[in-house]
Chains A and B, each alone.
Chain A
Amino acid sequence: MTELAVLPPDFAKEAAIMEKTWASKPGVIGWLSETGHKQIGLRYIVTAFLFFLAGGIEAALMRIQLLKPENHFLGPDAYNQIFTMHGSTMMFLFAVPIMEGFGVYLVPLMLGTHNVAFPKLNAFGYYIYLFGGLFLYTMFLLHAAPQAGWFSYVPLAGPQYSPGKGVDTWAQMITFTEVSGLVVAVELVVTTFKQRCPGMSLNRIPLFVWSMIVVSFMIIFAMPAVMIASGYLSLDRLVGTHLYNRSEGGDPLLYQHMFWFFGHPEVYIIFIPGLGFVSSILTAFTGRKIYGYTAMVSTLVVTAFLGFSVWVHHMFATGLPQLGESFFTAASLMIVLPTGVQIFCWIATIWSGRFRIATPVMYVIGFFLVFIVGGLTGVMLASIPIDWQVHDTYFVVAHFHYVLIGGALFPLFGAFHFWFPKWTGRMYSEVMGQISFWLLLIGFNVTFFPMHVLGLYGMPRRVYTYQPGMRWGNLNVLASAGAVFMALSVLTMIINFLVSRRAGRVAGANPWNADTLEWSLPSPPPVYNYLHVPTVSGLNAVWDAAPDQPYVTGMRFDRREILITRVLDAEPDHTEQLPGHSPWPFVLSCTMCIGLWGAIFFAWWFTIGAVLSGIALIGWFWPSDRELEDHILREKGELGGLELGMPEPVREEMP
C-alpha cells in the first residue's frame, strides 16, 4: 500500500459525515450506551478523581484523630474502617483506574486511530469499576465497611475474626475493579499492537504508550492472582471452604503469597504510567527527543519482569527460610538499576534540551525529589534487619506514600495540567497551577517526612491513638498540619480547573509545542479523532512530520471503519468495522452485580446472575440489521470501501 495521490483539501463534507457516524446518542439511554474512548476515558478519570477526594477526606479524618494523644474523635472501630477504606480507595478505586482512564483516553489518540479495539468491552469495564466502588461506599454508609486493612490478611479477614459483610464487600469490590483493569489491559494491548497508524513501527511508539503496554501486560499476569486470592477469601467466608484455615489443612500464608504476587506489581501498575507522563511532559518542555529511547523502553520491560520476582519482601516478617529471603532482598535491590537508568536518561534530556518551566514540569521535578526519597527508603527496607525493625511502623507508611504520591500523584497532577488544554480547549491559570504545586510539595513533605521519624521512634501503623508519654505528639501535629496544605493544594487545583474550563485562554491545538499525535488535533478533539488516519515518519510524530506528510484515504466515512496495521512495522493490512453504541455493556454489568452482590447474602443469586448475564451476552453479540446488511453486501462484493467520490490517485513513490 504505497500509493500516493494528490487530493484537494476540502473536508467539510467528510467531517460532517464522520461527525454523524461517530456521534454520541442523546438522552440517558444514549449516555449509558456510549462507547467512545474519549468519553469513557474521561468518565474513568472523573470517577477516580471523586474517589480520590473521598479517600482524601478519609485521610483527613485520620489526621484529625491522630492530632493529639488519647483523642476520641474516631473510635477504634471507626478508625479501622477509615484506614481500610482509605487504603482500598486509593489503591483500587483511584490510582489504578485513573491511570487506566488516561490510557483509554490518550492511547488511541497517540496511535492515530478512531477508537479502542473493543469499544463495548471498554464501556463494560467502566461500569463494572463504577459499580464496584459504589458498592463499597454504599456498604460503608450502611455501617458494613471492611476493617481488615487494604490487604485484608487472613485470619483477621476470615470468617472467624471478621463477622458481618464488610470483608465480603471488599472482596467483591476487588473482583469488580480487577475485571475492569483486565478489560482495559486487553483493550490497550490489542489497540496498540493492531491499530497504530501507518509508519508507527515499534520503535516509534510514544513512551507513554509503551508504559501503558508494559502496565497492561503486568495487569494480565498480576490481577488474576488477587482475584483468585479474594475469591478464596469469599469462598472461605461464604460457603465454608478451608483454603486459608490452618486447622483443616489450609494456609493463611497462601493468601499473603497470592496477594503480594499481585500487590507488588500493583505498585508498578500505579507508577509506570507516571513514568510515561514524565517522558511525555519532558519531551514537550525540553523540545528534544527523549535521551535513550531504547534504554527507556527496555528498562520499563526489565522493571516489569523484576516486579514479579520480589513479592516476598512484603513477607519478611513471616519467618520464611533464610535463603529465600536473601534472594528476594537481592532481587528487590536490583530494581534500583532500571529505575536509575530512567532517571539518568531524563536528566540527560533536561540537560541537553531547551528547558522551559510551567506547572507540568514543576510537578515532574517534584516527582524526582519525592520519588527518589521513597526509593531510598525502599532500598533500606529491602534489607531484612531494617525491615524487621520498622515493620508495621509509620516508617513504612512514610515510605509507601513517598513512592505512591511521588511516583504516581505528582506525575498525575502534572499530566492533568499538561493535557487539560487538550480536553477542554482552554488553558489553566499558570499562577494557580504553581501555587497548587508548591502547596502540594511543601504539604506533602511536612505530612510524611515526620512519619519516618515516628516510625523509628516506634509508632505502629494502624493504631487509632497513642499515649501521651510516647512523645509522638509533636510530630503528629506537624503531620496533620501538612495535610492541611495538601488539601489546599487539591482545592486550588480543582478551582483552577473549574474556572479555566469556561474562562481560560483558548489553547489552540498544540499550546506546548508537544510531539505526540494528539496535539495535531483541535482541542478538544472531534468525536471521531482523525478525519483521515495520519501517518508518521519519526518518533516525535508532530515534529518529524513533513509539510505534506501523507494521510490515509480510501476509508469509509459513513461507517465506524478503522485501519488495522501489522504488529511490527505498522504497514496497512486490512480494515475492520467497530461496533457502535450499545446499552448491553451497562446491562451486563447490572446482571453481574445481581450475581456477585447477591451471592454475598445468598449463594443462589450467583446462579441467577449468571443466567441473566448469559442473556445479556446474547444481546451484546447479536448483530444489528445494518451490520448484517453491510456484511452481506460486502460478501457479494457489491459494497466497495468507498462512499465518497475520490479523485483518481496520482501514483508516486513513497520516500
Chain B
Amino acid sequence: MTQRVLDVAALTEGTADSRSLIWWGNLAMLAIEGTMFAMAMATYLYLRSTNLDWPPSTVPKPDLLMPTINTVMLLLSCIPAFIIDRASITKNMLPIRICQALSIAVGLLFLYIQYAVMVPSLGYKWSSHAYGSVVWVIIGMHTLHMVAATGETALLFLYSLFKPVLKKHLLDFRCTAVYWYFVALVWVPFYFIIFIEPWMQRKGS
C-alpha cells in the first residue's frame, strides 16, 4: 500500500509577523498585564466610591506642567515605536537604530522626570493614607513596565550593533514596539486620575 504524505519542505522557517509564536505570547502577556492595570484602576475607583473625602483634603493640587509634558512625550514616543515596527518589516536598519536610540532616551527621561520632579512634589507618601497607597502602587507598577520596555529596547539596540540582525530579532523589535504602545497608552488614564482629578471638584467638599 502506498503512504500519502503532506510535504512542507517549501514552507519558510520563522516569520517576523503576527503568525509567529512570540507574537502571540506577547499578546497573551499584555492581556495579563492589562488585567493587572485594570485591577489597579478598579482599586482606585472602588476606594473612591467608599471614601467621602477623595482625594483627601490634605492632598495638594498637583503641579500640572511637568507631568503633562512627560505624558505627552510618552505618547509621542509611540511614533518612533511605530517606525521601528514598520521598518522591521523591510529590515531597514537605519530608521530602526535611530528610533531605538530615541525610545531609550525618552524612556530614561520619562523615568527621570517621574522620580526627580513629579514624585517628590506629590506631597504625600504611600503610607500617608489609602489614596497615597493606591497612587504609589499605580506609579510603581507603571515604572516597572517602563523600566522593562526601556531595558528591552536598550538590549536589542546594543545587541544589534554588535551581532547580526536576523529574522527573529526583527520579530523582537516589532514585539517590543507593541509593548511600548501598551506601556505608553496605559499611562494616560492614570495621568488623569493622579493629576487632573485633584483639580476637579473634590468629592465631599
Contacts and interface: CB of A to CB of B under 8 A. Distances in A.
Interface of A: 1-7, 9, 117-118, 121, 182, 185-186, 189-190, 193-194, 198, 220-221, 223-225, 227-228, 232, 235-236, 239-243, 245, 248-251, 253-254, 257-258, 532, 535, 547-555, 561, 563-564, 566, 572-577, 614, 618, 621, 628, 631-632, 634-635, 640-642, 646, 649, 652, 654
Contacts of A563: 8, 11
A253 B1 CA distance: 69
A576 B8 contact: no
Contacts of B3: 6-7, 9, 548, 550-551
Interface in B63-78: none
Contact of B5 (A7, A182, A245, A642): A7
B11 A574 contact: yes
Given A575-B14, A614-B151, 4 more contacts: A249-B130, A555-B9, A564-B20, A574-B12
A254 B25 contact: no
11 contacts: A4-B4, A190-B21, A242-B129, A248-B130, A249-B47, A547-B1, A550-B3, A563-B8, A574-B19, A575-B14, A631-B164
B92 interface: no
A243 B25 contact: no
A573 B10 CA distance: 10
Nearest to A258: B39
Interface stretch (B27-35, B80-88, B113-121, B185-193): B27-35
Contacts of B33: 224
Interface residues of B, number: 55
Contact of A575 (B6, B8, B35, B166): B8
Contacts of A185: 28
Contact of A1 (B10, B136, B163, B168): B10
Interface in B149-169: 151, 155, 163-164, 166-168
B21 to A, nearest CB: 5
Among A5, A190, A236, A561, chain B packs the most CB atoms within 10 A around the CB of A190
A572 B8 contact: yes
A117 B25 contact: yes
Given A118-B21, A232-B137, A564-B20, A631 B167 contact: yes
B21 A555 contact: no
Top-3 shortest CB links A-B: A554-B9, A249-B130, A241-B133
Contacts of A182: 32
Contact of B6 (A190, A224, A572, A573): A572
B32 A220 contact: yes
B199 interface: no
B7 A224 contact: no
Contacts of B90: none
Interface of B: 1-15, 19-21, 24-25, 28-29, 31-33, 35-36, 39-40, 42-43, 46-47, 50-51, 53-54, 56, 126-127, 129-134, 136-137, 151, 155, 163-164, 166-168
B96 to A, nearest CB: 16
Given A228-B36, A250-B130, A1 B8 contact: yes
A640 B43 contact: no
B39 A574 contact: no
Given A243-B43, A251-B50, A1 B127 contact: no
Contact of B137 (A241, A253, A535, A635): A241
A224 B137 contact: no
A630 to B, nearest CB: 9
B11 A1 contact: yes
B45 to A, nearest CB: 11
A257 B39 CA distance: 11
A117 B22 CA distance: 9
Given A232-B137, A554-B8, A628 B39 contact: no
Among B5, B13, B40, chain A packs the most CB atoms within 10 A around the CB of B5
Contacts of A553: 5-9
A561 B19 CA distance: 16
B47 A250 contact: yes
Contact of A190 (B25, B43, B163, B167): B25
A347 B7 CA distance: 42
Contact of B21 (A117, A241, A635, A642): A117
A628 B160 CA distance: 13
Given A224-B39, A254-B47, A243 B21 contact: no
Nearest to B49: A251
A552 B24 contact: no
Contact of A251 (B9, B46, B166): B46
A232 B133 CA distance: 9
Contact of A564 (B2, B19, B133, B134): B19
A585 B151 CA distance: 19
Nearest to A199: B6
Among B9, B10, B40, chain A packs the most CB atoms within 10 A around the CB of B9
Nearest to A195: B21
B35 A249 contact: no
Contacts of B50: 251, 253-254
B12 A1 contact: no
B148 to A, nearest CB: 9
A385 to B, nearest CB: 27
Contact of A642 (B9, B29, B36, B127): B9
A648 to B, nearest CB: 10
B167 A573 contact: no
A194 B26 CA distance: 14
A646 B9 CA distance: 10
Given A224-B35, A564-B19, A574-B13, A5 B7 contact: yes
A566 B35 CA distance: 27
A634 B167 CA distance: 10
B4 A652 contact: yes
A181 to B, nearest CB: 11
Contacts of B31: 220-221
Nearest to A554: B9
B7 A575 contact: no
A515 B95 CA distance: 53
A118 B13 contact: no
A549 B4 CA distance: 7
Contact of A239 (B2, B14, B53, B127): B127
Nearest to B125: A240
B133 A235 contact: yes
Contacts of A243: 43, 47, 130, 133-134, 137
B24 A573 contact: no
B47 A251 contact: yes
Nearest to B155: A618
Nearest to A550: B4
Nearest to A245: B130
A185 B32 CA distance: 10
A4 B6 contact: yes
